[in-house]
A and B are shown apart, each in its own frame.
Chain A
Amino acid sequence: MRLAAVDAAAARANLSPGQNLSDARALVPELELREIDRAYIGQVFSDFADWHSNASPIVAVHPDVAPYGDLILDITGVTHLFGGEAKMLALLVGRLRALGFAISGAIADTVGAAWALSHFAPNSIVPEGGIEAALAPLPVVGLRLDDAVVAGLNQMGLKTIGQLYGRDRRALQARFGAGLITRLDQALGRIEERITPRIPIAEYYAERRFAEPIGFMDDVLMTARDLAVQLGLTLEAEALGAQTFHLFLYRVDHKVMNLTVNAGRATRDPNHIAQLFVHRSERLEGEYDAGFGIDMIRLAASSVAEVESTQLGAFEVRDGAQDLDRLYDRMTSRLGPLALVRNKFVNSHVPERAVKLEPVIARTVDDPGALPDPDLRRPLRLLPQPEPINVLAEVPDGPPMRMVWRRIAYRILKASGPERIEAEWWRSGRNLEVLLPPQAREERGDPRDDSPKRKQAPAEPEHVSKLEAFDPLTTVRDYYIIEDDGGRRFWIFRIGLYGAAETPRWFLHGFFS
Chain B
Amino acid sequence: MPGLASHDLEALRRKIAALEKRPLLAEGAALVARRMGKAAPAGPGMADPLELLAAPRGVLHEVFADEQRQSGAALGFTLGLARQLLTDERQAILYLQLKGETQELGLPYGAGLHQFGVDAAQIIIGRVENMTELLWAMEEAIACRAVAGVIADLARHPKALDFTVSRRLSLRAAAAGTSAFLLRYGREREASAAKLRWRISPALSGAVEFDPRAPGPPRFLIEIEKGRLGDKTQGAEGRSMLVDWTENGFASVEPERHVGAPPQRAAPPSRPVAPALGDRLSQAS
Query: Which A residues are within 8 Å of any B CB, using their own CB?
Result: 318-321, 323-324, 326-328, 330-331, 334-335, 338-345, 351, 354-355, 357, 360, 366, 371-372, 374-385, 399, 405-406, 408, 413-416, 481-483, 485-489, 510-513
B window 207-223: CB within 8 A of A: 208, 211, 213-215, 218-220
Chain A residues lying within 8 Å of B45, measured Cβ to Cβ, are: none
Chain B residues lying within 8 Å of A381, measured Cβ to Cβ, are: 71-72, 75, 105-109, 112
Binds A, one of B46-54, B125-133, B249-257: B125-133
B window 197-243: CB within 8 A of A: 201-205, 208, 211, 213-215, 218-220
- Min CB distance, B211 to chain A, in Å? 7
- Min CB distance, B68 to chain A, in Å? 9
Tell me if B121 counts as interface (CB < 8 A to partner A): yes
Chain B residues lying within 8 Å of A318, measured Cβ to Cβ, are: 89
CB contact between B89 and one of A319, A345, A377, A413 (< 8 Å): that residue:
A319
Query: Which B residues are within 8 Å of any A CB, using their own CB?
Result: 69-73, 75-77, 79, 88-92, 102-103, 105-116, 120-121, 123-129, 133, 136-137, 140-141, 144-147, 201-205, 208, 211, 213-215, 218-220, 245, 268-272
Chain A residues lying within 8 Å of B107, measured Cβ to Cβ, are: 357, 381-382, 384
Whole-angstrom CA separation of A376 from B115 in the bound complex: 10
Q: 21 A-B residue contacts at CB 8 Å?
A: A318-B89, A323-B145, A324-B144, A331-B137, A331-B140, A334-B136, A335-B137, A342-B123, A343-B121, A345-B110, A354-B111, A360-B124, A366-B121, A372-B114, A374-B271, A380-B108, A383-B103, A416-B215, A487-B203, A487-B204, A513-B73
Chain A residues lying within 8 Å of B140, measured Cβ to Cβ, are: 327, 330-331
**Nearest 5 pairs between A and B by C-beta?**
A513-B76, A320-B146, A343-B110, A511-B72, A381-B106
Chain B residues lying within 8 Å of A382, measured Cβ to Cβ, are: 106-107, 109, 112
Most buried by B among A360, A405, A487: A487
Chain A residues lying within 8 Å of B105, measured Cβ to Cβ, are: 381
- Min CB distance, A333 to chain B, in Å? 11
Whole-angstrom CA separation of A229 from B112 in the bound complex: 46
Q: Which chain B residue shows the least CB distance to A344?
A: B110
- Min CB distance, B126 to chain A, in Å? 5
CB contact between B213 and one of A328, A366, A416 (< 8 Å): that residue:
A416
Chain A residues lying within 8 Å of B90, measured Cβ to Cβ, are: 320
Whole-angstrom CA separation of A351 from B215 in the bound complex: 20
- Min CB distance, A153 to chain B, in Å? 62
Tell whether, in the assembled complex, residue B106 and residue A342 are in contact, meaning their CB atoms are under 8 Å apart: no
Most buried by B among A331, A371, A378: A331
Tell whether, in the assembled complex, residue A371 and residue B272 are in contact, meaning their CB atoms are under 8 Å apart: yes
Tell whether, in the assembled complex, residue A378 and residue B121 are in contact, meaning their CB atoms are under 8 Å apart: no
Known: A341-B127, A355-B110, A487-B205. A384 touches B103 (CB 8 A): yes
Tell whether, in the assembled complex, residue A321 and residue B146 are in contact, meaning their CB atoms are under 8 Å apart: yes
Known: A357-B125, A360-B124, A376-B111. A327 touches B141 (CB 8 A): yes
CB contact between A486 and one of B77, B136, B145, B202 (< 8 Å): that residue:
B202
Tell whether, in the assembled complex, residue B109 and residue A379 are in contact, meaning their CB atoms are under 8 Å apart: yes
Q: Which chain A residue shows the least CB distance to B132?
A: A282
Chain A residues lying within 8 Å of B127, measured Cβ to Cβ, are: 338-339, 341
- Min CB distance, A280 to chain B, in Å? 14
Chain A residues lying within 8 Å of B272, measured Cβ to Cβ, are: 371-372, 374
Given contacts A320-B146, A360-B124, A384-B102, 10 further A-B contacts (CB under 8 A): A320-B145, A331-B137, A345-B110, A376-B111, A382-B106, A414-B205, A416-B211, A416-B213, A489-B205, A489-B218
Chain A residues lying within 8 Å of B125, measured Cβ to Cβ, are: 340-343, 357
Chain A residues lying within 8 Å of B136, measured Cβ to Cβ, are: 334
Chain B residues lying within 8 Å of A511, measured Cβ to Cβ, are: 69, 71-72, 106
CB contact between B72 and one of A330, A334, A513 (< 8 Å): that residue:
A513
Known: A334-B136, A335-B126, A489-B205. A327 touches B73 (CB 8 A): no
Q: Which chain B residue shows the least CB distance to A342?
A: B124
Whole-angstrom CA separation of A479 from B92 in the bound complex: 31
Whole-angstrom CA separation of A236 from B89 in the bound complex: 28
Chain A residues lying within 8 Å of B75, measured Cβ to Cβ, are: 380-381, 513
